[in-house]
């Protein structure tokens, strides 16, 4: 049956990570990091079923291509401890086709992130060959700044880090999933609330994606 999984983390320079390396790993591509001169080549990586960039209509053309977008992020952020990317990982309903899951993911990202001025890279990954074959999932890499026709805004919106905003994103994912399942005439539904909030005496299951077993 369809499961609800939604997790959020940040990719930071302080942790020794980069937006370009993460993007190349997610979409199994080669991206040359202009800031460091280091090439990140993951073209041999398997399991990427779909990848695309979504950006506000007013965004510059460079914001609509993976390598140029994340190089722009790396070049704009000057701090050694810069927060480069906000990344969301979600489980996709295995009851839906790849095309249906693409439409589900696009609609959700457009409503909750692109309308706020972010650009996003979405990657749909196949289940780990050694794991549950129903574990189709997606990574959504988000810019931490709004993008206008002139590029990134200097000030980062503080409310993007609020618990209330995160709750909206979590609830929104459940709403979009249930709508897609209903349209596909699948009877299962998901709930973003914890077992405790629903007064269910049960231990939650753990959703393990590829990154849980093999971190880049």
Tokens of 188: 């299962």
Beta-strand relationship, 137-143 and 83-91 = antiparallel
129-135 long-range contacts (CB < 8 A, ≥24 apart) are 129/47, 130/213, 131/208, 131/210, 131/213, 132/208, 134/94, 135/91, 135/94, 135/207, 135/208, 135/209
How does residue 128 score in pLDDT terms, banded at 50, 70 and 90? Answer: confident
The whole-angstrom separation of Cα 127 and Cα 159 is: 34
How does residue 135 score in pLDDT terms, banded at 50, 70 and 90? Answer: confident
Q: How confident is the model over 182-198, as a mean pLDDT?
A: 80
The whole-angstrom separation of Cα 167 and Cα 174 is: 11
The whole-angstrom separation of Cα 205 and Cα 195 is: 11
Beta bridge pairs of residue 86: 10, 142
The whole-angstrom separation of Cα 201 and Cα 33 is: 49
Q: Give the pLDDT confidence score for residue 214 in this predicted structure.
A: 44
How does residue 208 score in pLDDT terms, banded at 50, 70 and 90? Answer: very low
DSSP per-residue string spanning 139-181: EEEEESS-EETTEE-SSPPGGGG-HHHHHHHHHHHHHHHHHHH
The pLDDT tens digits for 83-106 are: 999 999 999 999 999 999 999 999
The whole-angstrom separation of Cα 210 and Cα 17 is: 18
The mean pLDDT of the chain is 90
Locate tokens 């000057």: which residue? 78
Under a CB-based contact definition with an 8 Å cutoff, are residues 70 and 14 in contact?
Answer: no
Of 7-16, 39-48, 122-131, give the lowest mean pLDDT range: 122-131
The pLDDT tens digits for 51-67 are: 999 999 999 999 999 99
Under a CB-based contact definition with an 8 Å cutoff, are residues 125 and 139 in contact?
Answer: yes
């Amino acid at each position: 049956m369809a499961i609800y999984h939604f997790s959020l983390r940040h990719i930071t320079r302080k942790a020794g990570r980069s937006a370009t390396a993460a993007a190349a790993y997610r979409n199994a591509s080669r991206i040359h990091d202009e800031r460091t001169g280091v090439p990140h080549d993951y073209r041999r990586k398997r399991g990427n079923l779909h990848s695309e960039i979504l950006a506000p209509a007013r965004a510059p053309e460079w914001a609509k291509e993976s390598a140029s977008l994340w190089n722009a992020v790396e070049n704009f952020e000057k701090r050694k401890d810069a927060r480069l990317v906000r990344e969301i990982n979600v489980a996709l309903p295995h009851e839906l086709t790849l095309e249906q899951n693409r439409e589900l993911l696009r609609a959700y990202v457009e409503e909750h992130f692109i309308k706020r001025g972010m650009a996003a890279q979405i990657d749909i990954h196949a289940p780990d060959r050694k794991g549950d074959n129903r574990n189709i999932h997606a990574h959504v890499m988000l810019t931490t700044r709004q993008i206008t026709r002139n590029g990134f805004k200097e000030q980062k919106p503080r409310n993007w880090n609020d618990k209330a905003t995160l709750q909206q994103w979590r609830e929104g994912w459940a709403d979009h999933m249930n709508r897609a399942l209903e349209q596909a005439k699948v009877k299962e539904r998901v709930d973003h609330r914890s077992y405790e909030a629903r007064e269910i005496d049960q231990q939650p299951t753990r959703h393990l994606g590829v990154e849980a077993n093999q971190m880049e």
